[in-house]
Amino acid sequence: MKITMIGTGYVGLVTGTCFAELGHDVTCVDVVEDKIALLNEGNIPIYEPRLENLVQKGIEEGRLHFTCDTKSAVECADVVFIAVGTPTSRRGDGYADLTYVYAAAHDVAKYITGYTVIVNKSTVPVGTAIQVVRIVAENCNADIEDFDVVSNPEFLREGAAIEDFMRPDRIVIGADNERAFNVMHKVYKPLYLRDAPIVEMSPETAELTKYAANALLATKISFINEMAQLCEQVGADVSSLAKAVGMDGRIGPKFLHPGPGYGGSCFPKDTLALLSTAQEYGVALRIVSATAEANNSQKARMIKKIKDAVSGDVSGKTFAILGLTFKPDTDDVRESAALTIVPALVEKGAIVRAHDPKGIEEAKKELPDDVQYALNAYDAAEGADCIVLVTEWSQYRALNLERLKEQMMSNPVFVDLRNVYEKFEMEEVGFTYVGNGRP
């Protein structure tokens, strides 16, 4: 099939490339010319494991194309996916900003010829599919029977996006007629043959399903973060607690790891957008509201934890920050905890030496100018009073603790926001160790 992706970001690039890998003929469109030029040379503008090889393969085998020309990409497509960003609106009301989705729908409408399925892959609030139908109908030359709008939310995780696409837990398709469902079944047939379950529903249910899934995952994180706080007060250990709680088959072990508060391009904005929708319809989502509130408190609590670890005053002290991305194996720093922690330390007069395996370039755009960037964890620790492990990259999981300590000032402190290390091993080397949710 001929597939066009409008938007070649984390989602559009991964799904477009994977559809090409499955045998479809895919064109990825973006408005950013530099990004398309880079991709046409076989280089990728983001970090995602295994992606670059698949992009190069797709180009070489002639099934994957990149362009800024929406017209040529849409004219010949059977299916057009809209995979543009839906950030939180700048109005401050929590709603998703649908400007890019609607602009993409306008673009697509102008160029469709013959029956085309237009698929909302972006995370969008309930009712967006209907708005896209209206926009396309008002702006296209074709008849209303010549297109269908489908909701097909994306559930991939950055860092494991290829695996998630190729072996999804489920594929959600929201449509209102058989013809559209049939086209979507053809699109996903190669995965269906591998037993990926397809769940059919209305567009409205599909739109809401994505938000419900993200809100529940965010709730699990906020729940365990609050348990971590209580553990610290009563002298309990959240790691053992989470392990035992997660062994209950009804609960499951995933998303029960305490951390500095969830970030990334999805959970923070999607919980807010869900709350805005609920408010609009007069429904109180108290649990989601508490989840978002608990997450903000968690980030603030981490800053206090770091300050307390160095006796309350960070001024003039040097901090090695390990990890700037919101999670390992991505270069994405959107809403990452480091973007809250680092400015708070700098503002109080701290010197910050930061390292991240992939996120430094993106972080530089967001962090104060006086932050220093290190070549590796040991370089970051040079002359530092305190190390703060913010993101659990595998590079930070087996650090040479003796070597780290040698680089640092006397009486070094290690604040481990991800509980990667054990207190006894740190103390053996001579660190003062502060974990997250541990006695």
Strand partners, 372: 353
Q: Is 68 among the catalytic positions?
A: no
Identify which of residues 44 and 183 has a Cβ nearer to ligand NAD in the complex.
Answer: 44
Contact of 364 with 355, CB cutoff 8 Å: no
Alpha-carbon Rg of the chain, whole angstroms?
23
* CA distance to 15, 188, 407, per residue, from 410 (Å): 50, 59, 9
Exposed e or buried b per residue across 32-55, where buried means at least 16 C-beta atoms within 10 angstroms of its C-beta: eeebbeebeeeebbbbbeebeebb
- When the beta carbons of 20 and 156 are compared against ligand NAD, the nearer one is 156
Cα–Cα distances (Å) from 293 to 15, 120, 211, 268, 303, in that order, read 33, 29, 17, 10, 16
| Piece of the chain touching ligand NAD by CB under 6 A; list 53-61, 101-109, 182-190, 391-399 | 101-109
At its nearest, how many Å lie between ligand NAD and the CB of residue 269?
Answer: 7
Contact with ligand NAD (CB under 6 A) among 103, 212, 278, 429: 103
Give the residue, chosen from 15, 123, 209, 391, that forms a contact with ligand NAD under the rule CB under 6 A: 123
Closest approach of ligand NAD to the CB of residue 143, in Å: 24
# of chain residues touching ligand NAD (CB under 6 A):
26
Report residue 183 as tokens.
């086209």
Q: Which lies closer to ligand NAD via its Cβ, residue 67 or residue 297?
A: 67
Residues 1-40 that bind ligand NAD (CB under 6 A): 6-12, 29-32
Catalytic residue among 18, 140, 231, 266: 266
| Helix locations, 251-367, DSSP H | 267-280, 286-309, 338-347, 360-364
| Interacting residue with ligand NAD among 265, 291, 336, 340 (CB under 6 A) | 265
Q: At what angle do helices 286-309 and 338-347 cross, to 10 degrees?
A: 40
> Token pair of 258, please?
């305490």
Residue 331 binds ligand NAD (CB under 6 A): no
- Amino acid (1-letter code) at residue 403: R
| Positions 207 through 226 that interact with ligand NAD (CB under 6 A) | none
* Residue facing ligand NAD at closest CB distance: 9
CB of 207: closest distance to ligand NAD in angstroms?
11
**Tokens representing residue 209 in the block:** 């399903």
Q: Which is nearer to ligand NAD, 334 or 405 (CB)?
A: 334
- Catalog residues that contact ligand NAD under the rule CB under 6 A: 6-12, 29-32, 83-86, 100, 103-104, 107, 122-123, 154, 156, 158, 265-266
* Catalytic machinery residues: 266
